[in-house]
A = this chain, B = another copy of it.
Amino acid sequence: MSAPRTQPIALECHHSTPGSVSTPTWHRLRDALLALIDSLGNNRKRPCRLPAEREMIARFSTTRITLRDALTQLEGEGRIYRENRRGWFIAPSRLHYDLLAGLAFHDMVESQQRQASTLLLSASTVPAPLHIARRLWLSEGSAVQRIVRVRAIDGRRVLYVEHHLRPDCFPGILDFDLAQHSLTALYRHEYSIRIARVDYELGSTIFGGPAGEALHATPGTAAQRITRINRDQNGRVVDCDDEYWRHDAIELALSAVPRGG
């Protein structure tokens, strides 16, 4: 605990110029919260929780809704995040995710001096839904292997992934320890399949349903969707992923030669 001050703090009202419009309360609150965040320090290893909402209300002499506006603002900026019904936390710095580096999750995370962990939610053979069947060049309802995992950085759950594999490519892959092994490593070493081309599709959405629950994300918070379709050295589609990231957890990067060059 750092300097516990229970004294209410009056929000300063800065006017950039005397005649200008006054800053909205939530904006001043936002700055006050930033100061609070700084004062709490940002040691990455342990999730650093903000005080309870009602305590912050008292401390800043404001209402729940205004406080929430300010918190939501900072959440959108990626400075803080929220765990459903558990509170607000200071967001660690973003993971640098190079889409074309071809690194497995654990390698990527550990190369940035962070600790990675994976939780296997399910691994089974299921009938392919239409959109999955289309991606994998299969007919709707034909069998596909489905692997659902949750991945965490320094203990914080940041990614929910669903993989769908063509079963003719990877017979028996579900029997491996999928929480420990990288899928691409298994592809290469057990099936001699290398990922030679990737098609990405990126879009923003919100959490809700299984992805939100698995990450303890409050329904409605921003999510980064990353869909990828992998092809092997023969150009054959072998699997696809649907990734849902906490939006504040990553920063995407890539370097390539554009076609119109």
Contacts and interface: CB of A to CB of B under 8 A. Distances in A.
Contacts of A102: 258-261
Contacts of A199: 253-255
| Copies of this subunit | 2
Interface majority SS (helix, strand, loop, mixed), chain A: mixed
Contacts of A163: none
B202 A252 contact: yes
A224 interface: yes
B256 A198 contact: yes
A100 interface: yes
A250 B195 CA distance: 27
Given A73-B206, A252-B203, A101 B222 contact: no
Query: Which of A65, A220, A233, A253 has the most B CB atoms < 10 Å from its CB?
Result: A220
Interface residues of A, number: 46
B256 A205 contact: no
A203 B260 contact: no
A204 interface: yes
B256 A76 contact: no
Given A73-B220, A261-B196, A78 B204 contact: yes
